C-alpha cells in the first residue's frame, strides 16, 4: 500500500528585505547624505560611487516614494537599529491572554475567595479574565441570581478593573470579561 504525502499549498512568507548598494536598480533616487542633508534627485550609480568613496553603503530608506529615498550610511549599523526597534516594539506589545474563571450557582465562602484570588493573580499579570457561570437544570429559572453573583464578583475588584464585555447570557451560560486598568 502506498503512503500519500500531501503537498502544502501555502506560499512561504517573504520577509521584507532592505535594498542596499547594487540591489538598488532604480535609475533615479532622492539622495540623503551621511549628515542627513537632502542632496536631491540623483543618478543611482553616481550616488553609489559617492557612498563607496566614503566607505559607506547606499541604503534604500523609503522604496514606495517616487523617486525612492536612499541614504548614505553604514548598512550594518542601520540593520542593527532596525532589529533593536522591532524587538522593543515586540516587548512593548505583549500579547494579553484571556484567562477563564468558572463560577457555579451555589458558590460560597472559601470557593468564592479562591476564585477571586485566582482572578486577581491573572489581572496582576495584565491578562483579561473571562468570568463564566453555567446554569444547570432548575437553576435556569433563577437567571437574575446568576447575574447578581457575577456582578458581585466584579464589584469585589472595585475600581481596579474595567469591564471589557458586559454580562451576557447565551442559553444557560452567563459570561463577562474584565481587564486591569
pLDDT at 17: 84
pLDDT at 4: 72
Say yes or no to pLDDT of 19 above 80. Answer: yes
Share of the chain above pLDDT 70, in %: 96
3-state secondary structure of 44: helix
CB of 157 closer than 8 Å to CB of 128: no
Q: Which long-range contacts (CB under 8 A, 24 or more apart) does 163-167 make?
A: 164/128
- What is the tens place of the pLDDT at every residue in 35-53? 999 999 999 999 999 999 9
Residue 176, all three cell numbers: 463577562
pLDDT at 89: 87
pLDDT at 16: 76
CB of 131 closer than 8 Å to CB of 173: no
Strand order in the sheet with 38-43: 38-43, 28-32, 69-73, 57-62
C-beta atoms surrounding 14 within 10 Å: 6
pLDDT at 13: 65
Mean pLDDT over the full length of the chain: 91
pLDDT at 11: 73
In this prediction the pTM is 0.52
Which domains can be identified in the chain, with CATH numbers? 21-80 (3.10.20.80), 98-180 (3.30.110.10)
Amino acid at each position: 500500500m502506498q503512503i500519500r504525502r500531501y503537498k502544502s499549498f501555502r506560499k512561504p512568507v517573504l520577509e521584507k528585505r532592505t535594498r542596499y548598494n547594487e540591489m538598488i536598480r532604480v535609475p533615479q533616487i532622492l539622495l540623503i547624505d551621511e549628515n542627513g542633508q537632502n542632496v536631491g534627485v540623483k543618478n543611482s550609480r553616481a550616488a553609489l560611487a559617492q557612498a563607496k568613496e566614503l566607505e559607506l553603503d547606499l541604503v534604500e530608506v523609503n522604496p514606495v516614494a517616487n523617486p525612492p529615498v536612499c541614504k548614505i550610511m553604514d548598512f550594518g549599523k542601520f540593520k542593527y537599529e532596525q532589529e533593536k526597534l522591532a524587538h522593543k516594539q515586540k516587548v512593548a506589545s505583549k500579547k494579553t491572554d484571556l484567562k477563564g474563571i468558572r463560577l457555579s450557582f451555589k458558590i460560597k465562602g472559601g470557593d468564592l475567595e479562591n476564585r477571586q484570588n485566582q482572578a486577581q493573580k491573572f489581572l496582576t499579570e495584565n491578562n483579561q479574565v473571562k468570568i463564566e457561570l453555567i446554569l444547570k437544570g432548575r437553576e435556569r429559572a433563577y437567571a437574575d441570581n446568576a447575574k447578581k453573583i457575577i456582578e458581585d464578583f466584579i464589584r469585589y475588584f472595585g475600581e481596579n478593573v474595567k469591564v471589557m464585555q458586559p454580562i451576557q447570557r447565551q442559553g444557560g451560560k452567563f459570561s463577562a470579561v474584565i481587564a486591569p486598568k
